Amino acid sequence: MDGGRGDAGRIDARRFAEADHIGISRHGKRHGPLDDALAAHGLRRRVAVVVPSHTSAMLLARDSDLVAITLADWLPGTLTALGLRTFLTALGLRTFPIPLDLGPLELGMAWHPRNASDPGHRWFRDHVAAAVLAPRESGGEWGRRGTGDWALQPAS
């Protein structure tokens, strides 16, 4: 997306859609909320490949010209903003804000019915839910754009 300049410059919705993307889906889905937001602008993106995790998307983005999507505060509480930037720099990646308004991200949990009344399992579910639903330090809600969703691309 940077034309070899080493500087992505301002990425607008059109430039964002023109890039080849890495889809992230455990089920191999190539279409999602990001595509709906682009369609609202009369744009479509090309998903060149679908991988099952954000980690595999970042590793693939590092070694290609593809764009991967992640949350701006990926791994909250584990990596500070500086730590995340250091981590991405070590991978040879850089970030830029997604130039679209994206709605809330829906998350869900599932477990085997035999675990429904298990106290340890219930404790774990409660803690996962509290961590995911806790407001961000910036005052936004989880799943809302807040501090921003980010796209990743190789640093040139």
Is residue 10 packed enough to be buried (19+ CB in 10 Å), middle (13-18) or exposed (0-12)? exposed
Query: 87-98: per-residue pLDDT in tens?
Result: 777 778 877 888
Asked if the model's pLDDT at residue 126 lies above 80, the reply is yes
Q: How confident is the model at residue 109 (pLDDT cuts 50, 70, 90)?
A: confident
The pLDDT mean for the chain works out to: 77
Residue matched to tokens 């998350």:
107
pTM of the complete model beyond 0.75 = no
> Both tokens of residue 112?
């085997």
Predicted confidence at residue 24, as pLDDT, reads 92
Residue ranges of alpha helices (H) inside 3-118 are 13-18, 33-39, 54-62, 81-91
Pick the CATH number of 13-103+145-154 from 2.60.40, 1.25.40, 3.40.190, 3.40.50: 3.40.190
